[in-house]
Each structure stands twice: as structure tokens, then as C-alpha cells.
């Protein structure tokens, strides 16, 4: 990057189904203060705060960021790109620093979906009001369409979805940000009831609340701070209509075209020609097992014809890259914050601060963000070395 920027501080609350004991301001304060302390940077050094809040309807209060994240006297705006909100906010912060407008930017994303009386109804209203709302389309039925397509076109089975979910569940047990991590086996996933065939209840991400904060710093103020450097950050937006993505020459609905193109652009920026050989860790915004498999292919970790073999290696933790060491969004998916959490988890691993889930030798990572029926995609590459 022309003007190197690093993540020098991160902060996270516990993620759990519902934070009944804390209001949004308190959650934000916990995450933001932890990030600032981790960065050893005061609020007076922050030139911009960016809030990340996705559907207002999930929180039940419109513009909930204005009382919780915005601070008097500090420039502020809010990003909202659905599930990609957190990573889109990070991209906006990078632009701000690269333009010379600030030396340090604080990004805070918060989710209160546990307060929504019915998240599926809210998610139904993200779809087209004429063609899709009335057939009760939801994020889960949308995922089910793709899972069946993967099963039909590539030979995946329900066993794969169950085993991936179980693998992520086992991995998440070491993640101290999860207040109540769920441990279950593949058999338990298959016995957990069907939400929308072939998606079983335990495969689906849980309703999750919490806040995540990141401090971005221009190279001139990084100094001897423990830094995870931004090597590349790219994003692209796709067409809305899922039907338009079935038979495109560039790829079908399960090929995640915009993630594929975002990753390719990021790899080019970072000088990566062999993702599997040059990256040590991947944190994907994959709230379902089938979402994770689609991302493997889009990120170039495997070819479509090798996707089953790669998936089986990932299930057995034998892939030559660390896959979702946090447990990923199947363990916790606070929608507004999830994409920022993926970046935060990668930064923690690079900085050697991931606690019990810390892995050895993590020097280069990729984190993805996906929003709006995988319409909005981001790819962020972090590294231990200054680019």
C-alpha cells in the first residue's frame, strides 16, 4: 500500500445471544475502550470514528449508533452494508488515512439483534418487496438454495455440512469471546431439526449480540506498537437478483463472483500468487457450512473439482492453512460486527494475542466480509511485516 496502515488495537465484548444486562452504550464503551487501551492511543488522537450498524430494524431503535458510538467533537459517520458492514467500515477508515485526513481512526461495530422479536421477519424484508417477500424468503432459505446447488453440482452431502459445523463448534471452545460456546457433534447437527432443507438448526449461526472495535493507525504513529499491517483491502458489489446469478458466464450462484474478484484484486495488491502457500490463516464470514465451502473456492484455496477433498481436510484440520480458528460466524454472528470480528481475529493471531486459540507462525492472513445475500464482498489481507 502507498501509505502503510496498521491495526494497532482491538477490543471485543463477549458475544452472546442477548446482553440483557448492558445497554448499547455500555457494550460500545467496553469494546472501544479495550481497543484504545490495546493501542495505547487516546480518544483525543482519533481523527474519525466510523460506526457499523446494519439493519436498524434488528436493534429496534433507529440510528442506535448516534447515542452509542458517535462522540462529540470527533468526525463521525455510519456505514451500513449489511453483513459486510464491519469490513466496509474498515475500508472507509483506510481511505480516510490514505487521503491524509487522519492519523488514527476508530471503528466500532455493534449488534443488538437479540432484541428483535423475530429476526427472520426482519431478514425477510431485505428482499424484493414485489417478488420475494411474499414467499417468506429469508437468509436461511437463501442459504438452503445454495447448499442444494453445491450438493447437486459438486457432490457435497449433508454429512459435510454437519461435520463442518461440528468442526467449527469444537474450535470455538477455545474462543474466550464467546460467553456460551456450543459444543456439538455431526450427529447432533443432523438430529437438530431442519430449518430449510438441507440446513439443520445447529448448522445455522446463533442469534448474537456484542461489539467489536479496531484502531487503525498511519505508519507514522505505529512506532513500536504491536501491529498487524494492512497488506490489501478490496471490496465489490454484485447484482441483487439471485436469479441473475444462476447462469452467468463468470460463475454461478455458488461461485461468489464478487468475493472471487475482491480476493484476486487483494492478492495482486499484496503480491500473493499462491494463496494456499502464502497465507497462514483464513477467517471467513461464513454463517453456514455451505457458505464456508463457497468461500474456499472463491478465495482460491481450492479448485471447484477439489472442493470436496479440501473441505474434508479442513474438517480434519489438515488443510495447509488455519481455517476459522475462532470458530467463525457459526459460533457467533452479531451481524453488524461479524466482518470486523473476522479482521480482528486475524489481527489477534498476527499480533500473538489470541489467547487459548493462538496458533504458531501466523504471519499473513485473509479475512472476508459478506453482506446482503453475498451481494457485498470484501477481502482484507493482514501481515506481520510492514508492506
Partner 1 sequence: MGKDNQNNADATNSAYIYGAAVSASWADASLSLTDLIFEGVTAALKDAGMSISAADSIVLSAHDLIDGRSLSSMVTAPAAGAYLRDEIRLSEDGLAAMSLAAARVEAGESEVSVVAAWGRASEGDFLATSRVAMDPFTQQPLGMSEMDISAFRLSRWMTKHGVATPARAAALQAQKKRAKTNPNALSAQSVAHPVSFPVHADEGPKWADVVVAVIIGKKPSGVRVTGVGHSTDMTQVGDRDLLAMPALRDAAKSALSDADLDLKDISIFEVDGMTLSDEAIAIEALGLCSAGEGFKSVSQDSRINLSGGSQAGWCYPAMGLVRLSEAYLRMRDKSKEPTGERKFALVTGQGAGGGQTSTAIILEAK
CB 124 within 8 A of CB 141: no
Find all residues with CB under 8 Å of 282, minimum gap 6, and list them: 295, 299, 301, 321, 322, 323, 324, 365, 366, 367, 368
| Residue 128 C-beta: closest distance to partner 1, Å | 6
Q: Which is nearer to partner 1, 20 or 67 (CB)?
A: 67
Residue among 190 and 245 whose Cβ is closer to partner 1 = 245
Residues in the chain, overall count: 387
Distance CA 151, CA 154 (A): 6
Nearest CB to partner 1, comparing residues 205 and 362: 205
In whole angstroms, the minimum distance from the beta carbon of 76 to partner 1 comes to: 5
Calculate the CA dihedral of residues 146, 147, 148, 152 and round it to 10 degrees: 100
Shortest approach of partner 1 to residue 54 CB, angstroms? 7
Q: Residue 45 or residue 358: which is nearer to partner 1 going by CB?
A: 45
CA 106 to chain centre: 18
Between residues 214 and 373, which has the closer beta carbon with respect to partner 1?
A: 373
Residues near partner 1 (CB under 8 A) are 2-3, 47-48, 53-58, 60-63, 66-67, 70-82, 88, 91-92, 95-96, 98-103, 122-123, 125-129, 218, 234-240, 257-258, 261, 371-373, 375-376
- What distance in Å separates the CA atoms of residue 115 and residue 165, rounded to the nearest whole number? 25
Question: Min. distance of Cβ 372 from partner 1 in angstroms?
Answer: 4
Give the closest residue to 312 by CA, choosing from 154, 193, 90, 182. 154
Query: Which is nearer to partner 1, 110 or 331 (by Cβ)?
Result: 110
Shortest reach from residue 25's CB to partner 1, in Å:
9
Burial of residue 219, with CB atoms counted within 10 A of its CB: 0-12 exposed, 13-18 middle, 19 or more buried: middle
CB of 57 to partner 1, least distance (A): 5
Q: Are 83 and 40 in contact (CB under 8 A)?
A: no
Closest Cα partner for 233 from 109, 361, 380?
380
Rank residues 314 and 339 by Cβ distance to partner 1 and give the closer one.
339
- Give the span between the Cα atoms of 104 and 9, in whole angstroms: 11
Give least dist CB 139 to partner 1, A: 10
Amino acid at each position: 500500500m502507498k501509505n502503510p496502515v496498521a491495526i494497532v488495537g482491538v477490543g471485543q465484548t463477549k458475544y452472546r445471544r442477548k446482553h440483557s444486562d448492558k445497554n448499547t452504550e455500555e457494550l460500545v464503551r467496553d469494546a472501544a475502550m479495550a481497543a484504545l487501551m490495546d493501542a495505547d492511543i487516546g480518544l483525543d488522537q482519533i481523527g474519525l470514528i466510523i460506526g457499523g450498524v446494519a439493519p436498524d430494524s434488528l436493534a429496534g431503535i433507529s440510528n442506535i449508533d448516534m447515542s452509542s458510538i458517535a462522540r462529540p467533537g470527533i468526525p463521525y459517520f455510519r456505514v451500513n452494508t449489511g453483513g459486510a458492514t464491519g469490513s466496509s467500515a474498515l475500508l472507509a477508515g483506510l481511505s480516510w488515512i490514505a487521503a491524509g485526513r487522519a492519523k488514527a481512526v476508530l471503528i466500532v461495530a455493534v449488534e443488538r439483534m437479540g432484541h428483535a422479536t423475530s429476526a427472520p421477519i426482519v431478514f425477510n424484508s431485505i428482499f424484493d418487496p414485489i417478488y420475494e417477500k411474499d414467499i417468506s424468503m429469508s437468509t436461511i432459505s437463501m442459504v438452503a438454495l445454495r447448499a442444494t446447488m453445491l450438493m447437486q453440482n459438486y457432490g457435497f452431502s449433508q454429512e459435510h455440512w454437519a461435520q463442518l459445523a461440528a468442526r467449527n463448534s469444537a474450535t470455538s471452545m477455545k474462543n474466550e469471546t464467546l460467553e456460551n460456546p456450543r459444543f456439538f457433534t455431526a450427529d447432533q447437527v443432523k438430529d437438530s431439526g431442519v430449518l430449510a432443507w438441507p440446513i439443520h438448526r445447529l448448522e445455522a449461526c446463533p442469534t448474537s449480540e456484542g461489539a467489536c472495535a479496531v484502531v487503525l493507525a498511519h505508519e507514522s504513529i505505529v512506532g513500536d506498537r504491536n501491529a498487524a499491517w494492512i497488506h490489501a483491502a478490496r471490496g465489490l458489489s454484485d447484482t441483487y437478483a439471485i436469479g441473475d446469478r444462476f447462469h452467468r458466464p463468470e460463475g454461478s450462484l455458488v461461485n461468489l463472483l464478487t468475493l472471487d474478484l475482491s480476493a484476486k484484486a487483494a492478492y495482486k495488491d499484496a503480491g500473493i500468487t499462491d494463496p494456499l502457500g502464502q497465507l497462514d490463516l483464513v477467517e471467513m464470514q461464513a454463517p453456514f457450512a455451505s457458505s464456508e465451502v463457497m468461500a474456499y473456492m472463491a478465495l482460491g484455496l481450492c479448485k471447484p473439482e477439489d472442493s470436496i477433498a479440501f473441505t474434508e481436510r479442513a474438517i480434519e484440520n489438515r488443510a495447509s492453512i488455519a481455517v476459522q480458528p475462532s470458530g467463525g460466524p457459526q459460533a457467533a454472528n452479531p451481524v453488524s460486527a461479524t466482518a470486523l470480528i473476522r479482521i480482528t481475529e486475524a489481527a489477534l493471531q498476527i499480533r500473538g494475542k489470541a489467547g487459548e486459540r493462538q496458533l504458531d507462525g501466523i504471519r499473513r492472513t485473509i479475512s472476508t466480509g459478506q453482506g446482503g445475500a453475498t451481494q457485498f464482498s470484501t477481502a482484507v489481507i493482514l501481515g506481520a511485516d510492514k508492506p
